[in-house]
Structure 1
Amino acid sequence: MQVLIARMNHETNTFSPVPTPLAAFGKNGPTYGAAAYAENKGGRTAMSAFIDLSEAAGAILVTPVSAFANPSGRVAADAYQRICDGIVEAAAGCDALLLDLHGAMACENTDDGEGDLLERLRQRYPNVPIAASLDLHGNVTQKMVDNADVIISFKTYPHVDMYEAGEHAGRLLFDWLLRGAPKPRLAWQRLLLVTHTLRSTSESGAMREAIQAARRFEANGVPGVSVLAGFALADIPYPCISVVAVGSGEAGYRQAQQVVKQLAEQIWAAREGFVYQAEPLSQSLARALELAQNVDKPILLLDHGDNCMSGGTCDTMDVLMAALEAGLTGIMAGLICDPAAVAQMAQAGVGASLMLAIGNQCAIPSIGRAANPIRLRGIVRAVTHGEYVITGPTYTGQTASMGKSAVFDIGAAKLVITSKPHEPWDLGTFTSLGLNPAEARFILLKSRMYCRPVFSPLCAALIECDSPGVTSADFSLFTYQNRRDPLYPFEAVGEGWERG
């Protein structure tokens, strides 16, 4: 048996000014062939699980590409074409296709990157089984459902079950291909509901209840049930939440149809639980200052309006400047992406006192924001290559690179400034530069969720800080031109879904 295994991951924020050329995938472009295999073998991606399953089955592996890029603007057309062409051509002669996809990829030449790829594969290889693993934030389309045999998404956010989702999807396909199970069929329902990312966590609220229901259906015999929150920061027709269920054979398909109907009804009844209501930034910072008076641990502040894992520029300074004006001190803040500032600090050297223009370097036309760097005086405390090994729970063991990085001490705050946009996956984002975040009074991170399993245990409290960035929870900042109307919560919606 010959099995194609490939990875193509990008969550597209169509409002982001950050470009996505081919070089944005990986350290300097995707990996191919043996390098794609090596990048994922022994890791925690869905592609890692596909490799393990296929090797256990004695298959010959074909690994044409592994392409992952941080969320950003639309993927360049030539980059998308090259990745997809490599997958389609390599699939010739294969008996199964296992694809580690995201589900919310939009490109310069298509709103439905994954659906178009799956359609090409199905047209070229009509009888070859296809399984896809998707991110929990995938914007599922009819093309995806029509052209895949199995779809399974992550069930956690922060995403700590990428491997498990891949193992689940691959196992269901191999049950059919190798072990005589009935052919899988997909049932799905897309709701007319746009969710806030901060309300898609699997750890609380309406999303947690929906995922728990999906797990109960699986425990009672449905092969696979996925709840995909969708990704709202995409100006496409349906950036919506959806439910996908895998049925086994015709009877299983009818059961799967009932499952998606029940789950859709549950989600729609709880729709207000998927809408995030932010408090004013001044109130958030006042609460933080009050909490800090009575605890001996840091207060964790999350600048979620500029999160690179949703397409942020990673350089807005609103929350930091408001915190300084509110009188917060003892701050460790990061990660601020400003390669020019890092270069100046590296040239000046550790110990140098500088006046630097930092942050606000990237204009954000989609929300009418011009570049307006902030001038700060401080001392260079460290300059490093910016690499560290992630200890988990996400991408455990993977070497991460922030690019050349530096610490700039402005007195009330120590700023970690990087050359690349980077999510604070790990304490290594600070410790690799000689900082111990446990010693801070306030830890200010540009993050939504991924930092929480690592940084929350260090802190006495967590406060979400709203700011006008490209990943803001304030949908009124964004001008949608292509989305379907009506969609809740933008407009009142009678029934929660369209009839197929």
Structure 2
Amino acid sequence: MRILCATFKHETNTFSPIPTDRARFADWGLHFGEAAAEAMAGTRMPQAAYMKLARERGAEIVTPLAAEAMPAGPVEEATYEELAGAILVAAADCDAALLDLHGAMVATHLDDGEGELLRRLRAARPDLPIAVTLDLHCNLTPAMVDNCTALIGYKTYPHVDMYEVAEQVGRILFDAIDGRVDPVMRWARPPLLSQTLCQGTDDAPMKDLIARARRFEAEEPGILAATVFGGFALADIADAGTSALLIADRKVAGAEEAAAAGAGDLAARAFAARADFVYRHRPIEEAVAAAARLDDGPVILLDHADNCGSGATQDVMAAIRAVIEGGLDDVAVATLWDPAAVEAMRQAGEGATLTLDLGGRTDMPAIGLEGRPLSLTGTVERLSDGRFTVEGPMYTGVTVDCGPSALFRVGQPDGGPDGAPDGEGGDGVRIIVTSHHHEPWDLGVFRMMGLDPATRRYLMLKSRIHYRAGFGDLARHTLTLDGEGVATSDNGLLPYRKVRRPIYPLDPEVSWP
């Protein structure tokens, strides 16, 4: 057999002003042919699991593409067509396709990137067995379901089960090829635009939904897989939102009906818990004051509205300003995107003191915000090439390239007691500034700068939930800072035009079914 194994992933925030072009894929990971296989080898990514399954069958492995870009605005048309085309060309003479996709890709010329890729693939190869892994934040569409043999989503957020989920759906596909099962998919979708900040799988209600999905897999005869998709509310497309899908084996009597009932059950339970899928805000000054009263650390401070892992610009200074003005000391910030500031620090060199207009490089017209730099004086404490290998448990083995990076320290200690205010013996605020966008979910982002995050009183992270992968066990306390950015959890700030209506919480009185 010739088995195609490929990755093509992007989570698109349609409100983001950051363009997703070919260079953005290259910044995070863009590999073709043998280089794609080499990039995935030794990782815990879905494509690595696919290649392992193919090797077990003694198959020839075809790896046309391993491509992922950090979330941002829509994928430009030429880039989408090039990368999708690489998969379609390679599939022409393959016997099966195992694809690692995201499920929330929007391109400048189409709203359903994954559905369109699968539609084209199915049209070209009507009988090709196709397995797909999708992100927990997938906005599931009819085109995705109708144009593959079996699809599945992650059951964890942070996504620490990507490898295992890919193995599961890959084995379903090979069992279908060998005639042991006859998979059919059934799905349901409530009118719910769940917010990613409320989708952590260690928290209710998502935790309870995932547990129920696992029970369907373990206890219901003929159910091969069950998935709950939280959806990605920052993609303004008709199909955005929560959904549930079960794969049944038609060889087992009653399994198809059980799958339909199970999908409906999961969707209904999600809708019943809809109020818990909406984040409740509080003034950022209150959160900073609460952090100042905590005696033990590390304390995680989440600047979630400016998380590039949800497509934000990652150069908004509102939360950093609030932390500095609030007098918090011994703070390490990861990460701020400002290539111009990095270059200025590289020119100045380590140990130099300078004043920078930091961040605020990007306007956000979708939410009516202009970029506002913050003028800070500090010391270039360290320079780095911005590269490190993720230790896990999420994206384990993947090499991260933050581009040229710098550690900028605001405030100097003067020999006074730890924890004293800035300028009175405090340790100041250290800001990791990068040239490429990167959401901090692994300790390596601090270690590449010579910092031990366990020794800091405050860790300010431009993240939502993924930070838990690397920092969850480290945190004594976690507080959300409701700052500014296009990854906001305030639906009232987002000018939705395309999403289907009525839908909760945009339409609070909606009922279903």
TM range (shorter): over 0.9
C-alpha RMSD of the superposition: 1.3
AA in 1 matched with 2:449 = L
In structure 1, the gaps of 5 or more residues are none
**Contact 1:181/1:248 (8 A) holds in 2:** no
Question: Which residue is 2:49 aligned to?
Answer: 49
AA in 2 matched with 1:230 = G
Question: Which residue is 2:481 aligned to?
Answer: 465
**Contact 2:133/2:166 (8 A) holds in 1:** yes
**Contact 2:77/2:109 (8 A) holds in 1:** yes
Q: Which moved more, 1:449-458 or 1:437-446?
A: 449-458
Q: Which moved more, 1:356-365 or 1:425-434?
A: 425-434
Question: Which residue is 1:183 aligned to?
Answer: 182
The verdict on how the C-alpha distance between 1:493 and 1:140 changes in structure 2, with shifts beyond 3 A counting, is farther
**Contact 1:409/1:415 (8 A) holds in 2:** yes
AA in 2 matched with 1:155 = K
Q: Show the 5 A alignment for 1:125-140.
A: 125-140=125-140
**Contact 1:22/1:29 (8 A) holds in 2:** no
Q: Show the 5 A alignment for 1:360-379.
A: 360-379=360-379
SS in 1 for 2:163: helix
Deviation at 1:298, TM superposition (A): 2.1
Question: Which residue is 1:480 aligned to?
Answer: 496
Q: Show the 5 A alignment for 1:247-262.
A: 247-249=248-250, 251-262=254-265
AA in 2 matched with 1:328 = L
Deviation at 1:28, TM superposition (A): 7.2
Q: Deviations over 1:230-284 (max 9, x none)?
A: 0000111121100011011164222211111111222222221211112221111
Question: Which residue is 1:66 aligned to?
Answer: 66
**Contact 1:101/1:132 (8 A) holds in 2:** yes
- Measured in 1, the distance between the counterparts of 2:289 and 2:301 equals 12
- Measured in 1, the distance between the counterparts of 2:248 and 2:56 equals 25
Q: Show the 5 A alignment for 1:129-278.
A: 129-178=129-178, 180-220=179-219, 221=221, 222-249=223-250, 251-278=254-281
SS in 2 for 1:91: helix
Kindly indicate whether residue 441 of structure 2 is the aligned counterpart of residue 440 of structure 1: no
Q: Show the 5 A alignment for 1:323-342.
A: 323-342=323-342
Q: Deviations over 1:82-101 (max 9, x none)?
A: 11111111111211111100
- Measured in 1, the distance between the counterparts of 2:28 and 2:114 equals 22
**Contact 1:230/1:239 (8 A) holds in 2:** yes
Deviation at 1:494, TM superposition (A): 4.2
Q: Deviations over 1:113-137 (max 9, x none)?
A: 0001111111111011111100000
Q: Which moved more, 1:253-262 or 1:72-81?
A: 253-262
TM normalised by structure 1 equals 0.96
Corresponding pairs, count: 493
Question: Which residue is 1:285 aligned to?
Answer: 288
- Measured in 1, the distance between the counterparts of 2:24 and 2:173 equals 31
SS in 2 for 1:377: strand
SS in 1 for 2:155: coil
Question: Which residue is 1:455 aligned to?
Answer: 471
SS in 2 for 1:379: strand
The verdict on how the C-alpha distance between 1:133 and 1:28 changes in structure 2, with shifts beyond 3 A counting, is closer
AA in 2 matched with 1:113 = G
- Measured in 1, the distance between the counterparts of 2:454 and 2:206 equals 31
- Measured in 2, the distance between the counterparts of 1:29 and 1:265 equals 38
Q: Show the 5 A alignment for 1:274-353.
A: 274-291=277-294, 294-295=295-296, 297-353=297-353
SS in 2 for 1:30: strand
Q: Which moved more, 1:430-439 or 1:105-114?
A: 430-439
**Contact 2:193/2:505 (8 A) holds in 1:** yes
TM normalised by structure 2 equals 0.94
AA in 1 matched with 2:444 = G
AA in 2 matched with 1:266 = R
- Measured in 2, the distance between the counterparts of 1:487 and 1:86 equals 37
Q: Deviations over 1:308-343 (max 9, x none)?
A: 110011111111111111121111112011111110
Question: Which residue is 1:496 aligned to?
Answer: 512
Deviation at 1:158, TM superposition (A): 0.3
- Measured in 2, the distance between the counterparts of 1:238 and 1:468 equals 26
**Contact 1:46/1:163 (8 A) holds in 2:** yes
**Contact 2:303/2:481 (8 A) holds in 1:** yes
AA in 2 matched with 1:319 = A
